[in-house]
Amino acid sequence: MESTENTIGILDSGVGGLSVLLEIRKKLPGTPVHYIGDSAWCPYGNKAAELIQSRSYAVTEQLIEMGARTIVVACNSATIHAVEALRARYPIPFVGMEPAVKPASLCTKSGTIGVLATEASIAGEKFHTLLKTHIHPKGLKVITQPCPDFVSLVEDGILDGAKVEAAIREYALPMVEAGADTLVLGCTHYPFLRESIQSVVGHDIQLIDTGAAVARRTATLVEDNEGLAPISVHTTGNLACLERLFPILCPSLPATLHQITIA
Ligand code: DGL
C-alpha cells in the first residue's frame, strides 16, 4: 500500500483498536491507515509496564517503517504506560487515549462513576493522576473493575449471548447496584460490547468511551484527502482469526488483511 505524508498508524494489543479505526475512518475517509493489532501478545492488560512499553516501541517502529507519520495509540493500557516514552523517543505526533474519567465526572448525577478498564490501566500512575484531578476534588466516588473476559470475548468475535451477559453481570452490574449512573468503557475492546452492556445495565446508565474524541483530535493533526483511502490491517497473531473477526467487528469496511511478525 502506498503511503503519503498524512498516513496514520494505529496500534493496539489486538482487535480492540478497530473501534477507534472506525471512528477515525468516519472523520478522515481520505487518509490512509495502517493498523497493527499485536494479538500475539494480547492481552496487554495483565502485563508489566516494561513489557507494554517494549511492545509499543516495536509496533510503533513497524508502523513508521510502513509509512505512518501520525500514530494513534488505540489502547488505554499502552497509553497509560508508554505514550510519554513514545513521544520522547520518536519525532512524530502521538495521539493517546485514557479512560474517560473527566467526561464521566461532568456527566454523573449520582456522584458515583464506574470505570471498566484493564488491570494495567487501573494500576497506572497516569490513571491515578486522572482521579486526583477530576474525581477527588469534586468529592465523587469511583469504582474500578478490570474486565479480562471482555477482551477475550471480543478477540473471539463474541459480542452478545450468554457468555457476554454473564461477564457483564459480573463486572458492570455491581457498579450500577452500588449507585453508579455513568460507566466508563476504559479499554478499546469494550465499545464492541456496548449494546450488550447497555441492555444488561439498563438505558438510564450512561456509557462513555473516547473513540470519537480521539478521532476528532487526530483530525486536527492530519489533512484529509479527497476520496477513499486504503486501509491495511495487520495482526501479529493468526491471519485466519483476523479474517474471521474483521467482518464481524468492522462490517463493510474495505481493508486488506495481513499477518506480520514483530520480534
Ligand atoms: N485494548 C486495550 C486497552 O485499551 C488493551 C486490552 C488488553 O490487551 O488487555 O487497554
Per-residue pLDDT, 4: 65
In the numeric block, which cell numbers belong to residue 241?
482469526
How many residues in the chain?
Answer: 263
Distance 15 CA to ligand 1 centre (A): 9
Distance 159 CA to ligand 1 centre (A): 16
Pocket of ligand 1 (CB under 6 A): 12-14, 16, 42-45, 75-77, 118, 121, 151, 187-189
Consecutive H or E run containing 143: strand 141-146
Give me the amino acid identity at 145. Q
- Average pLDDT per 10 consecutive residues for the chain, totaling 263 residues: 79 98 98 97 97 98 97 98 98 97 97 98 97 96 97 97 98 98 98 98 98 98 95 98 97 97 96
Per-residue pLDDT, 2: 55
Distance 45 CA to ligand 1 centre (A): 6
- 116, 142 Cβ separation under 8 angstroms: no
Per-residue pLDDT, 76: 98
Residues taking part in catalysis: 75, 187
The Cα 145–Cα 160 span in angstroms is 20
